[in-house]
Structure 1
Amino acid sequence: MTNKTGAEVRLQGIAKRYGQVTAVKPLDLIIEGGTLVTLLGPSGCGKTTLLRMIAGLEQASEGKLFIGGKDVTLLSAGERNVSMVFQSYALFPHMSVLDNVAYGLISSGAAKRDAHARAELTLETVGLKGFGRRLPSELSGGQQQRVAVARALVLEPDVLLFDEPLSNLDARLRRSMREEIRALQQRLGLTVVYVTHDQSEALAVSDTIVVMRNAEIAQAGSPARLYAMPDNVFVATFMGEANAVKGRIEAISGDQATVALDEVRLTLPHRGLPLGPVDVVIRPEAISLDDPGQAGLAGTVARGTYMGSHMEYHLATSLGDLFAICHDRLAAREVGAKVTVRLAPEGVIAVRP
C-alpha cells in the first residue's frame, strides 16, 4: 500500500434530528489529516451518530461536512471514499480471507487478479501474510478483527472509521490490538475517527479525544490535556478514575489559587475561576498515606484491595469517600486503620462547578 497523508475532515454546524429527538446538536469539529481522533462518551451521547454521518450512513439534518476540502454533505456513503470497521467485523463466513478483503474492490469493478494482488499486500500490512486461503471461522477474534481492518484499508480510503472495534475482544487482546491499530495509523499516515466508551482505549490510541455528552462536545483536546486539565467533573471522571469533592478558593495570586479542602490548603492553578466554592477533582494516584497525626487530611481505611502491582483503598474522610491507588503495596494498611491523607498538587484540579 502506498504511504499517504489522510484527508482533513471538517464539520460545520453538523446536527442530526430524528423527529423531535436531537441525536447530535449543531457542532463544529476539525479532524486534521493523518491524525487519530476518538469520539468518547457514554451510551446515547451522539458519538456513533456523528461517526455514521461522516460515513454517509446517516444524512445530516443541518450543517456541512467536508472531506479533503470537498463538500460531501449530500453524497452517499459509496461516493465519499471512506471505509468503516464495525464492532461485529461483518465478515462473509463462506468466503476465504482473501476474498473477504478483495470483495470491495471487485464490487467496484476491479479485475479479480488485481483485487487479489492488492488484498495480499494489505493482509501483509496487517500481519496476516499467508492467511488468505483460510475461512474466517478458522481465525481467532483478533485475527478476524485484522481481516476487517484489511478489508477497509484495501480501498485506500481518505478516512478510516472505527465503531467500537475492540469491544468483542478480551482485555489482553484488546490491549495488543489497539497498539496495532495505532501503529498502523501512524505508519500509513491515515486519518482515523474512532468511537469508543473505553477511556483507557481512547488514551492509548488518540492524537485528540472528543468527549461527548448529551449530544454535544463537552471538551476536545489531547489525551494529556484532558486528563490533566478537564473543564468539568464529567470530563474528569470520564477520562479515568477521579474523586470529585467540594472546595473553596480563598485567595488568588497571579495564575495560582489557594484552595481549601477542609483543613488542607493547596496551591493550584485557578484556571479563571473566581473566589468562593469550587469543584475539585483528585486523581487516585495523587493520594498517598502517612501515619496518623501528621500534617494532612485525617482519614480511616474503609476498604483495601491488593491488586498485585499496587493497593487500592477506599478512605473515609471529612471530604467524603476517597478512592486511592498506592504503589507501596508492601506497607499495606489494615481496614479500620487511622491514616493521614496527603495530596500531591499535580493530581488535584480545580474545575468549574
Structure 2
Amino acid sequence: MSIPIKTTGAEVRLTGLGKRYGQVQAVKPLDLVIEGGTLVTLLGPSGCGKTTLLRMIAGLEQATEGRIFIGGRDVTLLSAGERNVSMVFQSYALFPHMSVLENVAYGLVSSGERKQAAHAKAEAVLETVGLKGFGGRLPSEMSGGQQQRVAVARALVLEPDVLLFDEPLSNLDTRLRRTMREEIRALQQRLGLTVVYVTHDQSEALAVSDKIVVMRNAGIAQAGAPEVLYASPDSVFVATFMGEANHVRGVIESVTGEHCVLALDSARLTLPGRGLPPGPVDAVIRPEAIRIAPPDTPNGLEATVTRATYMGSHTEYYFGTAVGELFAQGADRLRRRQPGEKVRLLLDEEGVVVVRP
C-alpha cells in the first residue's frame, strides 16, 4: 500500500509575532522563517518562550501581535483545527482504552472519514514508523519508545503541513533518546516534512536540526545552522548553551584585517576578530580544543589538575589556571592525571572564540 503522507512541507513565516499575558511579555515580537521541508529546533532554558511560540504556531495560544503564515496562508486568526498542523506532546496523550490502530486513526474518524479507510491509512503510517503489526495492542502494552512512535504516527496520518514536537523525548532514557532522535530525523528527511521541534537538550538539537533558534528572555538570541552556532556564537550565553564551554576573560592585543591576536595569560592565539576592538574581551574555549601536555612544553597555559573523574572512554578534568578554572576531556585511559599534578594546556585555535558578553 502506498503511504498516504505528503512529501513536501510548507513554509512557516512569523512576522512581528509576540505574546503577552497581562504585563508579562512571554514572547517578544520576533521574525522567523522556517523553510519548507526543514527541521528547526527552538532551544533554550525553561521560561524562555519556546513552548509558547510553538503553541502559537499550533493555534493553541492566540498571538497578541504579529502574523503567522503557513504555506503562504495567513492563519493568525484560525483555530488549531483549521491550520492543518499536528502536534506531538511530551506526554504522548494516547487514549489508554483504544488500540494503537484506533489511536492513530482517531483524528481521521473524528473528522468524518469512514472507519475502514481511516484504519487503512493508519496501518500504512504505522508501517512507516516501524510498527507494522502492532495495531491491535493497547498503549500500555507498548514501550516508551513505541508509544512515542504511535504519537508520531497519529500526527502524520492527518497529512499536516507542519509537524510540531514539544519536548518529545524527555520521558525516555538516554540510550532510547539517542535512537528516537535519529528515527525522527530520518523520517523527517525521508518524507520532506516541515518540523518545528522544542527542546532544552543541546545535544538533541545539534543531532536533529537544519536550523537552531536559541531563545533567551522571550526573544531570539541567535539563529543558524548547528555548526555555525557552535563554532561562531554571538554571545557568551549562546556559546555556553550550545554544548560545554569554558568562559574566560582575555585581551585582544592587536587587530589585523579580520583577525586578532588574543592573549590568555602566557598563551597567544590568532583568531577571527569578529569586529571587536583591542582590549579586554570575553572568550570561549571548547573542552575539545584543550590538549594536555607535559609541564615543560613551550607555549600554552600553566595548569594544575584540580579534579579528575574517570568516565570509562575518557577522563573529565578540571584545571586551575591563571585565566580561571578550565574543563577538558582526555582520552588517557592508561595514564590518568592526578589532582595536584602540574601540566601545560595547549589550545587549538579553531576551538577558541572571542564573543560579546
Question: What TM-score does the superposition give when structure 2 sets the normalisation length?
Answer: 0.98
Q: Does structure 1 residue 329 correspond to structure 2 residue 333?
A: yes
Tell me the CA shift for residue 293 of structure 1: 2.5
1:33 to 32, 36, 42: 36
Instruction: Report SS of the residue matched to 1:225.
Output: helix
Instruction: Report SS of the residue matched to 1:179.
Output: helix
- Residues 95-116 of structure 1 show CA distances to partners (whole Å, capped at 9, x for unaligned) of 0000000000001110000000
2:342 to 322, 338, 345: 338
Aligned to 2:91: 88
Aligned to 1:63: 66
Tell me the CA shift for residue 272 of structure 1: 0.9
Tell me the CA shift for residue 328 of structure 1: 2.9
- Residues 264-294 of structure 1 show CA distances to partners (whole Å, capped at 9, x for unaligned) of 1100000111111110000001111111132
Which amino acid in the other structure matches residue 244 of structure 1? Answer: H
CA RMSD of superposed structures (Å): 0.7
Write the mapping of 1:117-266 to structure 2, written as runs, cut at 5 A: 117-266=120-269
2:296 to 268, 293, 297: 293
Instruction: Report SS of the residue matched to 1:43.
Output: coil
Task: Report percent identity of matched pairs.
Answer: 77
Instruction: Report SS of the residue matched to 1:34.
Output: coil
1:268 to 267, 271, 288: 271
- Structure 1 residue runs without a partner (length 5+): none
Aligned to 1:312: 316
The number of aligned residues is: 353
The whole-number CA distance in structure 2 between the counterparts of 1:349 and 1:332 is 28
Tell me the CA shift for residue 3 of structure 1: 4.5
Which amino acid in the other structure matches residue 87 of structure 2? Answer: M
Q: Report if the CA contact (8 A) 2:6-2:159 is conserved.
A: no
The whole-number CA distance in structure 2 between the counterparts of 1:241 and 1:45 is 20
Q: Does structure 1 residue 105 correspond to structure 2 residue 79?
A: no
Aligned to 2:24: 21
Which amino acid in the other structure matches residue 261 of structure 1? Answer: L
Aligned to 2:15: 12
Say which is worse superposed, 320-329 or 152-161, in terms of deviation.
Answer: 320-329
Tell me the CA shift for residue 308 of structure 1: 1.5
Which amino acid in the other structure matches residue 345 of structure 1? Answer: E
- Residues 171-209 of structure 1 show CA distances to partners (whole Å, capped at 9, x for unaligned) of 000000000000000000000000000000000000000
Q: Does structure 1 residue 348 correspond to structure 2 residue 352?
A: yes
Instruction: Report SS of the residue matched to 1:127.
Output: coil
Tell me the CA shift for residue 253 of structure 1: 1.1
Instruction: Report SS of the residue matched to 1:39.
Output: strand
The whole-number CA distance in structure 1 between the counterparts of 2:48 and 2:37 is 26
Say which is worse superposed, 270-279 or 125-134, in terms of deviation.
Answer: 270-279
- Structure 2 residue runs without a partner (length 5+): none
Tell me the CA shift for residue 327 of structure 1: 1.9
The whole-number CA distance in structure 2 between the counterparts of 1:218 and 1:85 is 25
The whole-number CA distance in structure 2 between the counterparts of 1:169 and 1:213 is 26
- Residues 229-280 of structure 1 show CA distances to partners (whole Å, capped at 9, x for unaligned) of 0001100111000000001111111211000111111000001111111100
